[in-house]
Amino acid sequence: MLAGVGLTFSGTAIRCIPCLFSAAARQRWFSIGLLHAGQILNAAAGPMVMGPVSRLSVIWFPEHQRTTGTAIAQTANGLGSCIGFLLGPFIVPDKQHASQFSTLLLVELCMAAVPLICALSHFPTQPDSPPSAAAEQYRRGTGGTDLSFLAGLKAIGPNRSFWLVVLCAGIMFGVQSGWSPQLQDLSLIHI
């Protein structure tokens, strides 16, 4: 989870770097490259944040609350996307307000900082007492996987298949996230 929020914040911060340049420098290739690199990092965080939701539910919630916990987490992902789609046109309503694009990126950076600060300040790996038998199995190490982040990193580090999936997901979601805000303008041209 920490890696996911860290990647999200890092990607969002990299996208803000062109805001520090002059208007002429923002039109250069490296500004677009930084925007794409940031989007790719944001997309690479997706599997790390969305994937372990059910596992976190097992570790943190008793059996009768697991479905609700998983549903809230999955719904929050869609709600976050919805907020993102509404935020862009609200801050930058048309091309006359294109100078406010930097404001949009900075607002998104602040939004990405909130979960990072929360996770860094207090995000224990597990509750004090296991809420279910399945959580107890994970705690004892008999749940099928090791909960240690470093052990997981060592296991996936040399796994080429994992990195190919991360790369493909990063490119796919990065391109989608980069072009999605343009769909409104492109659709108005053809209407």
Q: Is 181's pLDDT higher than 70?
A: yes
pLDDT value of residue 186: 65
Q: How far apart are CA 68 and CA 111, in angstroms?
A: 25
- Res. 147 pLDDT band, cuts 50 70 90: low
Instruction: Dump pLDDT digits (tens) for 127-139.
Output: 778 788 777 877 7
Structural contact between residues 42 and 11, judged by C-beta atoms closer than 8 angstroms:
yes
pTM, whole model, 2 decimals? 0.66
Burial of 11 per CB tally in 10 Å (0-12, 13-18, 19+): buried
User: What is the predicted pLDDT for the residue at 119?
Assistant: 87
pLDDT digits (tens, 9 = 90+) for 83-97: 888 888 888 877 777
Name residues whose C-beta falls within 8 Å of residue 59's C-beta, 6 or more positions apart in sequence.
126, 127, 130, 135, 138, 147
Q: Is pLDDT above 90 for 13?
A: yes
Using alpha carbons only, give the angle 86, 77, 16 rounded to the nearest 5 degrees. Answer: 60
Evaluate if residue 188 carries a pLDDT over 70. no
* Closest by CA position to 92, among listed 82, 107, 78, 109: 107
Could you tell me the two tokens for 73? 């987490």
Q: What is the pLDDT of residue 116?
A: 92
User: CA-to-CA distance for 112 and 8, rounded, in angstroms?
Assistant: 7
Residue 184 pLDDT grade (very low, low, confident, very high; cuts 50, 70, 90):
low
Report the pLDDT averaged over residues 28-50: 85
